[in-house]
Structure 1
Amino acid sequence: MKKRAISMIILMSVLAASVSCGGTSGEVKDSSDTVSDTVTSYEEVTTEDPRYAIKEDLPEVDYGGYEFRILVRWPDLWCADMYSESLTGEVVNDAVYNRNRKVSERFGVNFTQIKSSDNDAYTDGTKAILAGEDAYDMILPHGQGAFHTYAYPGLLLDYNTDLPYVDLDKLWWDQDARKSFELNGRLFVMTGDISYLSLAETECMLFNKKLFDDLGEEYPYELVKNGKWTFDEFKRLAEAGTKDLNGDGEQKPEDDQYGLSTQMYSMPCNVITTTGGRIVDKDESGEPAVTIYTERTEKAMNDYFRLFYSDNSYLEGSRRYDGTSKDYDARKIFSDGRGLFFDGLLTEVNDMRDMNDDYGFLPVPKYDETCEKYYTKVDAGNHMPCIPKTTSDPERTSIILEALAAEGYRTVIPAYYEVALQRKYTRDTESADMLDIIKDGRVFDIGYYFLGGSLCVVGYDMAVAGKDNFASICASKVTGVGKQIEKIMKTYGK
């Protein structure tokens, strides 16, 4: 199938996080547990849907019961986006099951899930490919592992040239990821509506409505809509929302109230993103260039870390200037009603389902009003479908891949986003609007996904060390990152 050429001159996606993925991986909940018990089918709450008007351009073929093998990470919480063994009455689980069944019946294939541990999923896949074995039709690794383990060693097919029926111009493929991940016209890793994790692993913010009412503050919804939900306003509220509840003169996570609770792999790794900056951007020739350090990003990191290290914030996993380790669960502070704001991933909303206080969704604030959108990172815990170069029939694989993504766009994503999130967890209509804004601001930073460690975890490194040393960390790592980029570009033909 013919594909349009992609412009090489585009801003790519956005910042940081990292060990986040390692850190959050164990925290993600199977979305089948996140759906309202009163909603049993997406179709039951849907009438005419314009998503069905957009058709995939695929031939009608029958593969005679071919076993389509998918290598996935274990445990089951990493398998739920792609595979479901049976109908359970839970909306998202059933949407995945019905999606797979429809594709299976349409093309005469049977889906087989091959489970491997999070670490073994890398070695199992690479061993088979390096041995020339056609062992898997698709591999679903951790987002960063997709690049480091599979793309860079040259073990994957190219989405642009090798998968003829994948139409990247369709709405079910994420265009920000496409723009970011393509280098020198080559695209080995992609994502989109084939997996709802590209939504579930998006960073957002929750606020406690009761505590807002106690403060006499207006909910920030109008600020968001007017483009005025910024760091300064967020900081003002966080400071106002901090209280020494037991009056002992000390701020302790077990007893007291905080303006913000978050983890070291969440908000600290999203600061660059909120400025509209990038760890790595593309220059005018389309080549990747390190852009993390500017006067603006340094100021933003300094501003945020002054807040993080104050008594107005609880930063789980960090160390304060005095070297004290912070190990209390940041989510518990918020779910217990002792946090004005919580910053984390959409998956973590599941941990708040039994919370007594009412809460609302917000995008992570812009650094200032000059930002065009409320940009936010998509954590690398999401899945990036990889197609081994040893696959015996790339055309067949591309047909099944495109069909899964298209059906995901029509049924699974609406089930997760519009039903599970907007009906189960949003307690007002404004929060549903906020989710639309959060979704619109999702970004994929090649510096975060391509580089893995090094610069992509600057915020994490600062939080763990309890230091405010953004400039020196960047300076110490730039040379090594430049060499890493040169090595990566060899895979992409330069």
Structure 2
Amino acid sequence: MKKQRLFAVLLAALMLAALFAACGGGKDDAAEIPQDTAAAETAAETTEEDTVYKADIPEGTDFGGYNFRFFHWYHSGWQERINKDLVAEEMNGDFLNDAVYERNRNVEELLNIKITSQLEDLGAIGGKVQKAVSAGDDAWDAVYIRLYEAPTYLSGGIFMNYHDIPTIELSAPWWDQGSVEQLSIDRRLYLIASDINVIDKNATAGIAFNKSYAESYGLPDLYALVRDGKWTLSKIEELYQNAARDIDGDGEMGIHDQYGFLSKNDAMTFFFHGTGGRFITKDENDLPVFSFPTEKNFTVTGDIIEMTTDYNVYFNQHYYGTSVVSDQAYTKMFENGQGLFFLLRLDEIEHMRASETDFGVLPIPKYSEEQDTYYSTVSQHTCGLMSIPVTISDPSRDGIILEALAAESKNLVQPAYYEVNLQGKYIRDNESGEMLEIILANRVYDLGCIYSFGDFANQYQEMTLKKNPDIASLTAKYESKAIAAIDKVVAQYQELAG
């Protein structure tokens, strides 16, 4: 298989990296891009024999020791969500770290550059970028703002349209085509996902299940249900109905008891996207349209509400509030054996590495067996995507650097993430590795969640906490607000286009 050959390439590269990490040197010459190929298209060069991806870098390109600067966010409580995929100071035996280190050294040697990074708190990074751009300061080459904050800055004219960078070939396989297609407005694309990063993969929704409980409750082969297209909302609800237990014996279900399903509020959105539903779609002119109000979406939402409000078998952490449970209470509950199923973002698998609970991983269920595809939400709360400030001095140069980094990431970083870091380190069986591929194959970047036009997506998610929620009434109340918010953003984008 291609993946196996690529994995072999990765292992060989990482074993050799320690020997050559100190080798190579920089040139002090000015940046050189051969004039006849300065805007060369980037393409993937692959063969069945070696399965190595290579960006089409103009021969003789030399950037004279240029310092390529990443600027990315962190949160003191979310250490696992820091962009560990951008820089690595040294080899340390961790496959992902060592793959990042090797990738950067390879690209530095290829282009005669230096790759550096700067961290900033997630709540402050957008403002700092905006201030630097307003002052005309070429401070960073590529920046990461969490999707939750990104809309504040995307229509402000501070980022380049990826379609205008001549040396970036957006159709190349190292750029996430889902992000290219779904995140643009009026054919202007200001942020993107690529193989450079794993933070966007870690922000993708999935489901974990307790293997011991699945066996003791006589559940069918869950992996087979997924393969056969029978993993649906109604099926998972059927399977967890008998898994709840009043462990503490107080006659009421609470945080010390066992549930069929453990989640947070975002289950509403994750399940909705899994059914193929979207808050926002786009028209033939690449403009967002509030497309939620359909009979199918109303029906689907009713089914999801029925699932997520049956608190005798379904635990929603937000139902109890932060005064009762901590932010990661439902994760701990699953680790402690208090749940059959557990809604997660993939980065939460890392939390469970030391857990004694044996678990498997599954995609978000479809709505029905007739639905062709499983879909997985990319959470705006934990994902940051790459943007390019308009103040960079040479877009063609930065485009070439990013193409080289992304192609080399497809060779090194992504195999380390998929086949070594997750499947070998955190995921506990081969079937879950197969499920991981399904989860990441069709990811959803819903502009309705990222922008929350008219606050509709936020209100939708909150319905699981309300008694007798009425989706038709909610839609009627917020539809005009959502449309007005969309019109405002579109006008801002079109103003940027001149």
Tell me which interval the TM-score lies in, with the shorter structure as reference length: 0.7 to 0.9
Write out per-residue CA displacement over residues 9-29 of structure 1, whole angstroms, 9 at most, x where no aligned residue.
Answer: xxxxxxxxxxxxxxxxxxxxx
Amino acid in structure 2 at the alignment position of 1:257: Q
Q: Is the 8 A contact 1:68 1:110 kept in 2?
A: yes
Tell which deviates more after alignment, 119-128 or 450-459. 450-459
Q: Which runs of 4+ in 1 moved over 4 A?
A: 39-42, 44-52, 324-328, 464-467
Q: State the partner residue of 1:270.
A: 270
Question: Percent identity among equivalent residues?
Answer: 32
Q: State the partner residue of 2:206.
A: 204
What's the secondary structure of 1:191's corresponding residue? coil
Q: State the partner residue of 1:55.
A: 54
Shift of 1:40: 13
1:155 aligns to 2:123 (yes or no): no
Q: Is the 8 A contact 1:272 1:279 kept in 2?
A: no
1:218 and 1:440 mapped to 2: Cα distance? 24
Q: State the partner residue of 1:442.
A: 443
Tell which deviates more after alignment, 61-70 or 230-239. 61-70
Matches within 5 A, 1:87-486: 87-149=91-153, 151-161=154-164, 163-254=165-256, 256-265=257-266, 267-310=267-310, 311-318=312-319, 329-380=329-380, 381-451=382-452, 454-465=455-466, 468-486=469-487
| Structure 2: runs of 5 or more not aligned | 1-6, 16-46
Query: Which of 43, 49, 54 in structure 1 is aligned with 2:11?
Result: 43
Shift of 1:331: 0.9
Give the TM-score normalised by the residue count of structure 2.
0.84
Q: Is the 8 A contact 2:52 2:411 kept in 1?
A: no
2:318 and 2:484 mapped to 1: Cα distance? 31
What's the secondary structure of 2:494's corresponding residue? coil
Q: Is the 8 A contact 1:364 1:374 kept in 2?
A: yes
Amino acid in structure 2 at the alignment position of 1:262: S
Q: Is the 8 A contact 1:104 1:111 kept in 2?
A: yes
What's the secondary structure of 2:221's corresponding residue? coil
Q: State the partner residue of 2:44.
A: none
Tell which deviates more after alignment, 40-49 or 282-291. 40-49
1:247 and 1:416 mapped to 2: Cα distance? 43
Number of positions where the alignment pairs a residue of Structure 1 with one of Structure 2: 450
Write out per-residue CA displacement over residues 348-402 of structure 1, whole angstroms, 9 at most, x where no aligned residue.
Answer: 0112212223211111111222322111101122221111111111111111111
Q: Is the 8 A contact 1:231 1:368 kept in 2?
A: yes
Q: Is the 8 A contact 2:54 2:408 kept in 1?
A: no
1:435 and 1:297 mapped to 2: Cα distance? 27
Amino acid in structure 1 at the alignment position of 2:432: S
1:253 and 1:82 mapped to 2: Cα distance? 38
| Structure 1: runs of 5 or more not aligned | 1-38
What's the secondary structure of 1:475's corresponding residue? helix
Amino acid in structure 2 at the alignment position of 1:107: L
Structure number with greater CO (CA < 8 Å, separation at least 6) is 1
Larger Rg: 2
Shift of 1:42: 4.2
Q: Is the 8 A contact 1:206 1:360 kept in 2?
A: yes
Give the TM-score normalised by the residue count of structure 1.
0.85
1:428 and 1:319 mapped to 2: Cα distance? 33
What's the secondary structure of 2:161's corresponding residue? coil
2:212 and 2:335 mapped to 1: Cα distance? 12
2:337 and 2:421 mapped to 1: Cα distance? 23
Q: Is the 8 A contact 2:202 2:346 kept in 1?
A: yes
Q: State the partner residue of 2:488.
A: 487
Q: What's the RMSD between the two structures over aligned residues?
A: 2.6
Q: Is the 8 A contact 1:271 1:300 kept in 2?
A: no
Shift of 1:297: 1.9
1:44 and 1:467 mapped to 2: Cα distance? 58
What's the secondary structure of 1:250's corresponding residue? coil
User: Against the structure 1 CA distance between its residues 105 and 464, is the aligned structure 2 distance closer, same or farther, given a 3 Å change threshold?
Assistant: farther
Shift of 1:315: 0.5
Shift of 1:146: 3.2
Amino acid in structure 2 at the alignment position of 1:193: D
Shift of 1:154: 1.2
What's the secondary structure of 2:296's corresponding residue? helix
